[in-house]
Chains A and B, each alone.
Chain A
Amino acid sequence: MSTFQIDFGEQKSPVVGIDLGTTNSLVAVMGATGQPEIIPGPDGSKIVPSVVSVSPTGEVLVGAAARDALLTSPERTVYSAKRLMGRGHADVQDELALFPFHIAEGSESVIRLRLGDRVFTPPQVAAEILRHLKENAEVYLGQEITQAVITVPAYFNDAQRQATKDAGRIAGLEVLRLVNEPTAAALAYGLDKRNEGVVAVYDFGGGTFDISILKLHDGIFEVLATHGDTHLGGDDIDNLLIHIALEDISSEWGEDVSGNQEAVQLLRRAVIRAKEELSFLPSASIDLEYKGKAYRREFPRDVFERLIAPVVERTLGPCRECLKDSGVPVEDIAEVVMVGGSTRIPLVRKAVETLFKARPHTELNPDEVVALGAAVQAGILSGDVEDTLLLDVTPLSLGIEIMGGVVSKLIHRNSTIPASATEQFTTGVDGQRNVLIHVVQGERELVKDCRSLARFDLKDLDPVPAGMARVEVRFLIDANGILNVTARDVRTGKEQSVDVKPSYGLDDQQVEAMIRESYERAEEDFRERQIREARVEADAILAATEKAKADDAWYDLSADERQAIDRAVNELLVVYNAEDHILILDHIERVNQATGKLAETMMNTAVRGALKGTKIDDLG
């Protein structure tokens, strides 16, 4: 049994950068040459599909293995779970129509997904992917990894960011920073070039769209404005094509297969293949063979482009808004950096070029550039990358509910973060002991049109006449884009306790429980693996002993010696199914000892035979 313990002493282990994508995830690190590099998995592949599956035996599969399980056991498998991060049940009704998510009971404020007999929240699904990437990095680097930078869509709100941070904690990673995906891409592009000027980053991924405009100046990457849509991506294009194909199939085969998960997943693969081919071929076909029936439809590129034009158009609105917010005239945009797999589509490139009047940059692999940038940011945080500094913004305005369900904005969108605002609150009733503050995110005037973020309860106020209490509340958005709230009694100057009830997502206790659960599960998994390995070893020694009993050497042993071996073998067979690897290993050792002489005799005979053979060969 070879277990190993790594002890780094005081030496700091590297900080990795992780792109936790809707479709694919990657991990990268700053290499010895000062350039970021993607860390491949044991199979050599850099990309880990963001798919998680639970096998019938309860084993969690991640990546390519889980993607294969999408076909065989779709009811135990989840993909594109990033779309559910930090969202409530009511938010995702649209998604549920398009994605085969299996929602479990009790999903009002946090969605729970059923995978086989287990239930996962979206952060737990993400944690499985993160843990997989962490292990890949540990194997590749030969070091334990405990700290990471994780990227998020720039337009992610507070709850979505918090959910991502929770995922890191559950996976056993200290998340040193959440970095916005387009900003990370700019870092990856700008590191060696030392550009000056204004650039736009157009990030069209599997499930999210972001646009950011940055000013580059002497190693400082200052985000001027960002905009986006957290539910717009290549998935939407896939769904359009799937929808058409399903209708075709329904009329051609006289059979509606839209409820058949296996058929839909096969079709999804066929559609994605056709979509990808259309990026470099004038025409491609969607081919599906299912249960002896075949469907085929040829898509010329112009038909495809007409079909997806509305999706591409939906990205341009945020681009125009972002330009306006940045205050930069479009002529001043020197370059547009293209990020995300969907930017391979020629129509997308054309639309971006037309809008920004600048040639899109596509030198770096659009699938890898975000992870590379995350590694650069990891290098900045660990001190390995000097002189480069990222100044990012908050994508959404932060406000509080005031009378009449109206929002009073405290921190405006596109404010450089960290950013803060201070507000004084008082009581409306004599002797009132607490004040409830409702915080929302969004640009609209009314609370009902914004995203509820959390309710903060200022508790245990001194009972004073109405209007006499003075509580100063400080709202601070940190460098991760996550809100922190502190409160102080102005009259006494003492810190005021704040009880936070997040509107969506997990509270601290739930996250703690999930971390504990993941430890326990890891221990359980480890124990199971040890037992399995002990049994494999037992199988090997039992087989070898059985074989040896046919050898001449067996008859050279005394009756006592043979009896001792039989007894040891029988005892090993008795404990073989015990859930105790130490017991099994102990009995393996006994068989080992009992068969020591037998093995020696056999070895000598074999060596003699081999030597004899050699001599004859030599002579020959």
Chain B
Amino acid sequence: MAVTSLSQDYFSFFGLPRKLSLDLTDLQARFYALSREFHPDRFARAAASEQQHALDATALLNDGYRVLRDPLKRAEYLLSQEGFDIGEQRSKDVPPELLEEVFELNMLLEEMPDRTELEQARAKFHQMQSGTDAELESLFQKYDSSGDRNVLQNIRGVLNRRRYIQNLVRDVEKALA
């Protein structure tokens, strides 16, 4: 194996175009093939420099696979690569369209809710989650065909909302547990 400097971009490391929609079966096949090529197990008795390269390459491969196979992480990754700010703090601002839901949930949690109410709330949030997922999917396709940065801006908003709904689901699950 040639000890070359590693490309830090996940898409190019996997030999993929920088697109938001991708075929997960194909991604897995690439992941397995690259694992066979780079995994430290293949270089257990090689020179120290080759072992280090195998370790670095496989860490990059695994980190990349974790990001690319998850549509939300994949989108966040591409956004940050395109210069969009996706720091942690942004998720603290409640998206205006969710204010009502957040308010209702907090009220519900405060007044010792029964299981049925909580389960209803959870079902509602799950539905909202599916809604945003579908919305994201169509936005992904829109971006992939147009390469339009304005679409990325939209995606950023939806991602923010999606993350917030996730927090709501987490809160309900905690109350249910």
Contact = CB atoms under 8 A, between A and B. Distances in A.
Interface of A: 12, 176-177, 217-218, 220, 377, 380-383, 389-391, 415-421, 476, 478-479
- Of all A-B residue pairs in the complex, the 5 with the closest CB atoms, nearest first, are A381-B44, A418-B59, A420-B59, A416-B62, A479-B40
Contacts of A218: 32
B45 A381 contact: yes
B72 interface: no
B44 A391 contact: no
Given A176-B45, A418-B58, A479-B58, 6 more contacts: A177-B41, A416-B62, A418-B55, A419-B63, A479-B39, A479-B41
Given A416-B66, A418-B55, A418-B59, A177 B32 contact: no
Contacts of B32: 217-218, 220
Nearest to A418: B59
A478 B55 contact: yes
A220 B39 CA distance: 12
Contact of B40 (A12, A382, A415, A418): A418
B35 interface: yes
Interface string B17-39: 00000000000000010011001
B36 A478 contact: no
Given A389-B39, A416-B65, A176 B59 contact: no
Interface residues of B, number: 16
Contacts of A419: 59, 62-63, 66
A382 B55 contact: no
A383 B41 CA distance: 9
A338 B59 CA distance: 31
Interface of B: 32, 35-36, 39-41, 44-45, 55, 58-60, 62-63, 65-66
A476 B59 contact: yes
B44 A176 contact: yes
A417 B36 CA distance: 14
B59 A381 contact: no
A418 B60 CA distance: 8
B35 A417 contact: no
A389 B62 contact: no
A391 B45 contact: no
Given A218-B32, A415-B66, A389 B41 contact: yes
A382 B44 CA distance: 7
A417 B58 CA distance: 8
Nearest to B40: A479
A477 to B, nearest CB: 8
A176 B44 CA distance: 7
Nearest to A387: B36
Nearest to A415: B66
A149 to B, nearest CB: 9
16 contacts: A12-B45, A381-B41, A381-B44, A381-B45, A382-B45, A389-B35, A389-B39, A389-B41, A391-B35, A391-B39, A415-B62, A418-B55, A418-B58, A420-B63, A476-B59, A479-B40
A476 B55 contact: yes
Contacts of B66: 415-416, 419
A219 to B, nearest CB: 9
Contacts of B36: 220, 389
Among A12, A217, A418, which residue has the most Cβ atoms of chain B within 10 A? A418
Nearest to A479: B40
B174 to A, nearest CB: 12
B35 A220 contact: yes
A570 B6 CA distance: 76
B165 to A, nearest CB: 19
A216 to B, nearest CB: 12
Contacts of B55: 418, 476, 478-479
Nearest to A380: B41
Nearest to B33: A220
A388 B32 CA distance: 11
Nearest to B62: A416
Contacts of A418: 40, 55, 58-59, 62
A381 B55 CA distance: 14
